[in-house]
Structure 1
Amino acid sequence: MKGFQVTFYTQQNRRHEGKMLADWLVALAMEMGLRGATLVSGIEGFGRTRHFHSHHFFEMADQPMLIVMAMSEEECEELFQRLHDEEVTLFYVKVPAEFGVLGPPLDA
């Protein structure tokens, strides 16, 4: 299948609707019926403000978080519209991708 791989970048301390933004986004993907989402904890990095974010004992709330998803063009449009409607501010990278599943079905 052809579509996109989308990676969203945030920090552990960012919240939306009272939940950690990264967790909220994974739950949204599930609610929307997307194929999956992977939440990755980063060690360190910096963003557009040039503020350094890291995972250290005293700064764990500032830990970088990535949410990676593969989706069709239609699913991507629906997700981005939902994020727009929710007024979520979030940096992302969207690249064309071919994706699928190899091997026998998992539930066979």
Structure 2
Amino acid sequence: MQGYQLTFYTQEGRRHHGKQLSHWLMQVMREMQIRGATHTVAAEGIGHDHRFHSWHFIELADRPEEVTVVATVEEVEALLERLRHEDIRLFYAKTPVEFGFVGTLDV
């Protein structure tokens, strides 16, 4: 299949509708029945603001996070349209991909 890999970048301390932004985003994708997404927490990163963001033992709010999904063109466009109607600013990268399965179904 053809589609996109869509990766959102945020920090752990960001919230939307009372939830951690990354968790809210995962919930939205589940509600939209988008197949498969991965939430990754990083040790450190440099943001679009050129600031260094890192994990601190005492303070986790600045820890970088990524939410990545591989989905069809239609699913990605529907997700981006949904997010445009929210009161958030969220950086993303969108890359064309071919995706599918190899091998047999695990039982």
Q: Cα RMSD (Å) of the superposition?
A: 1.1
Partner SS for 2:58: helix
Partner of 2:83: 83
Partner SS for 2:10: strand
Matches of 1:30 and 1:104, distance apart in 2: 25
Q: What are the Cα deviations for residues 47-89 of structure 1, in whole angstroms up to 9, with x where unaligned? A: 1212211011123111000001001111111000000011321
Shift of residue 100 of structure 1?
A: 0.9
Partner of 1:40: 40
Any unmatched runs of 5+ in structure 2? Answer: none
Moved segments of 4+, more than 6 Å:
none
Shift of residue 104 of structure 1?
A: 2.0
The normalised TM-score by structure 1 is: 0.93
Partner SS for 1:74: helix
**Are positions 1:70 and 2:48 aligned together?**
no
Partner of 2:54: 54
The normalised TM-score by structure 2 is: 0.94
Any unmatched runs of 5+ in structure 1? Answer: none
Instruction: Give the letter aligned to residue 4 of structure 2.
Output: F
After TM superposition, the structure 1 = structure 2 runs for residues 12-31 of structure 1, keeping only pairs within 5 Å, are 12-31=12-31
Matches of 2:87 and 2:62, distance apart in 1: 22
Matches of 1:97 and 1:88, distance apart in 2: 26
Matches of 1:46 and 1:38, distance apart in 2: 20
